[in-house]
C-alpha cells in the first residue's frame, strides 16, 4: 500500500489530500459513486449525530472494495472503523458495493454534552480496490461543526 504524510498532505493508495484540496491520481469508475449523509452539520448537545456512507452503483455489483473514511480535525486524521490516527496506521473496511443504492450507518447516536469547539471538521471518504491501488469513486469531503 502506498501511504505517506507530510504535515496535512497525505497520499493513501490512489488519492492525495492536501488540506482542503483533493487530487485524484487516477480516474475513478464512472458507474460507482460514494458519498456521506450527515443529517445535522451544526451539532449541539442532544442533537442526533447520524452519519451514513451511501453508495450508488449503476453497473455490475462489486464483491469487495476498500471503503475509506477519515475524520480530519485541525490537520490531524483518524481512520474508520477503528478511529486510530494515521500516525498509528491506515484503516478501512472491505465492503461489497452491490448494484443500486446502499447505505451503511457509521454513527447514529445523540451528540454528547461537550463544550463547543467552534472549528470546522471534515469527513473524507472514497472507495478503492482491495489492493489500494485504484480509486473506484471520487473522493468526497463533508464539512461540519460542533
Distance of alpha carbon 53 from alpha carbon 102, whole angstroms: 8
Give yes or no for residue 73 having a pLDDT over 60: yes
**Residues 68 and 10 sit within 8 Å (Cβ to Cβ):** no
**Residues 73 and 86 sit within 8 Å (Cβ to Cβ):** no
The fraction of the chain above a pLDDT of 90, given in percent, is 23
Average pLDDT over residues 112-117: 72
How high is the pLDDT of residue 41? 79
What confidence tens digit (pLDDT) does each residue in 2-52 have?
444 545 455 654 455 544 344 444 445 669 999 999 888 788 788 888 899
List domains and CATH numbers for the chain: 3-145 (2.60.40.10)
How high is the pLDDT of residue 28? 52
Q: For 44-134, where are the E strands, in sequence order?
A: 48-57, 62-73, 76-79, 84-85, 93-97, 100-110, 120-128
**pLDDT confidence of 97, banded at 50, 70, 90?**
very high
Amino acid at each position: 500500500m502506498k501511504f505517506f504524510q507530510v504535515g496535512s498532505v497525505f497520499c493513501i493508495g490512489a488519492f492525495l489530500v492536501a488540506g482542503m484540496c483533493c487530487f485524484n491520481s487516477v480516474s475513478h469508475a464512472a458507474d460507482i459513486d460514494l458519498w456521506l449523509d450527515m443529517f445535522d452539520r451544526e451539532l449541539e448537545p442532544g442533537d442526533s449525530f447520524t452519519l451514513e456512507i451511501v453508495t450508488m452503483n449503476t453497473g455490475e455489483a462489486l464483491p469487495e472494495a476498500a471503503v475509506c473514511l477519515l475524520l480530519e480535525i485541525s490537520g490531524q486524521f483518524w481512520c474508520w472503523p477503528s478511529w486510530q490516527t494515521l500516525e498509528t496506521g491506515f484503516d478501512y473496511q472491505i465492503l461489497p458495493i452491490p448494484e443500486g443504492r446502499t447505505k451503511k450507518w457509521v454513527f447514529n447516536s445523540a451528540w454528547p454534552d461537550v463544550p463547543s469547539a467552534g472549528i470546522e471538521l471534515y469527513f473524507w471518504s472514497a472507495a478503492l480496490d482491495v489492493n489500494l491501488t485504484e480509486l473506484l469513486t471520487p473522493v468526497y469531503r463533508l464539512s461540519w461543526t460542533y
